[in-house]
Amino acid sequence: MNKMELIESVAEDAGITKASASRAIEALCSGIERSLRKGQKVTMVGFGTFGISRRKARTGRNPQTGAPISIKAKKVVRFKAGKQLDRSINK
């Protein structure tokens, strides 16, 4: 499912216009992004938790030449599914 399909699904399920659903989804995504930038976790009970973790700098390999390359440290977004979501997927 892509973003447009999600907007259509939310609009249909909630009985609202696609424009309203689009604004709601944009607001949700923006809120999650702002919280993560501040270093906060975002927890939606039953759905899951978004958080930030740090990857250490490491040495990798160029797959074509096999030459070692340096990979910088960086922050990455993590998502851990909640119990309810996990159960619904693993029925």
Q: What is the pLDDT of residues 26-78, one digit of tens each?
A: 999 999 999 999 999 999 999 999 999 999 999 999 999 999 999 999 999 99
69 domain residue, yes or no:
no
**Looking at residues 11-36, what average pLDDT do you find?**
97
pLDDT in the model for residue 50: 97
**Looking at the predicted structure, is the pLDDT value of residue 91 above 90?**
no
**DSSP secondary structure code for residue 90 in this structure:** T
58 domain residue, yes or no:
no
23 domain residue, yes or no:
yes
CA 16 distance to own-chain centroid? 24
Q: Are strands 42-44 and 58-61 parallel, antiparallel or unpaired?
A: unpaired
Structural domain of 22: 1-39
> What is the Cα–Cα distance from 21 to 45, expressed in whole angstroms?
21
Burial label, 64 (beta-carbon count in 10 A; 0-12, 13-18, 19+):
exposed
